[in-house]
Amino acid sequence: MPRSAVVGAPSPRTRVRAMLVALAALWLALALLSGGLFLSPRNLVNLAVQASAVAVMACGMVLVITARQIDLSVGSVLGFTGMVIAALQAEDGLLAAPLPWPVALLAGLALATAIGAWHGAWVAYARLPSFVATLAGLLIFRGAAWLVSDGRTLAPLAEDYVRIGGGPSGTIAGVPLPVLVLVATALGVHVLATRTRFGRHVFAIGGSPRAAELAGIDVRGVTLRAFALSGALAGVAAVLTTARLGAGTNSMGMQAELAVIAAAVLGGTSLAGGSGSVAGAVLGALWMQSLENGMVLLDVTSALRQVIIGLVLLAAVAADARARKSAT
């Protein structure tokens, strides 16, 4: 696994171990506060399924942030892509005759990848700051999701498609399909980040874009591909979400970008670039979803949950800043 670009900064393995300790501490606290309900088998299965979509997107966010960029659009891309997938296969959707669900799924993934590449083109070739380009995408595709459905919930979806969401019939050897999709995604992105030229180039760009360019790295092309991957994984998350819900709803992906960025940063991905861990991001997503799940079990109000999650995000960024400052 690529080492941190900052001399003296905690290694990815150290960060992963720290996340495991933090996750165990959170689970213990929530188990005690909920009278053991949090650690019940049923709740743990629900937790794993719910965390899968955020964790899948966090895998892509690791590479984007490591390359010194940010993608604020992933939640809206999830919502828009999910709504398109639902609209293509629902009886009252976009087409007079619904498409077979595999065709709708592939069309959604292709659309999400194209949107990610579109954002990447604005950043890499039009030289727009990624914050601005993807913030615009957040607004555009959140509105587009509403336009696709005219504000309606699109359902029902094909029975075989809904199995992907991990319901009672959506398991393999007792493991929910979303968890298997997450494992495959995390392994794939880890190999991409640590064993390929593209991954090495992402870390080199994050360490010093100018030095990477002087070394002959196609900084623009790598940046575009990182955003395309982020979009594609938002599409995968859209499939998991629509399949789990059995419908396309306008609330899908709402504020998911915050959870995704928080997961990546909690897992050791530095907002300054050059350092990141896919395993850490997955654990970060599980930590964030555990916190959300536990607060729901404890009947914490929605408003207070948002306050707490915002404070966690602030603390994660502050910790990252302190770590980098102490390492220089």
Say if 322 falls within a structural domain. Answer: no
**Is pLDDT at 3 greater than 60 in this prediction?**
no
Q: Would 10 be classed as within a structural domain?
A: no
Average pLDDT over residues 208-212: 94
Check pLDDT > 70 for residue 84. Answer: yes
Does some domain include residue 59? yes
Structural domain containing residue 83: 50-254
Hey, is 171 helix, strand or coil? strand
SS3 state at 185: helix
> For position 8, what pLDDT does the model report?
42
Q: Is the pLDDT of residue 9 over 70?
A: no
pLDDT at 157: 92
Residue 93 lies inside a defined structural domain of this protein: yes
The answer to whether the Cα torsion of 206, 209, 213, 215 is positive or negative is negative
Inside any domain, residue 76: yes
Q: Say yes or no to pLDDT of 6 above 80.
A: no
318 in any annotated domain = no
For residue 171, what are the β-bridge partners? 176
pLDDT at 5: 41
User: Does some domain include residue 286?
Assistant: no
Which is higher by pLDDT, 10 or 141? 141
Name the one residue in this structure whose structure tokens are 């993934």: 109
Q: Which pairing describes strands 171-172 and 175-176: parallel, antiparallel, or unpaired? A: antiparallel
Is residue 42 scored above 90 in pLDDT?
Answer: yes
Inform me whether the pLDDT recorded for 7 exceeds 80: no
Strand partners, 172: 175
Asked whether residue 138 is domain-assigned, the answer is yes
Range with the poorest average pLDDT among 39-48, 302-311, 318-327: 318-327
In this prediction, residue 11 carries a pLDDT of 65
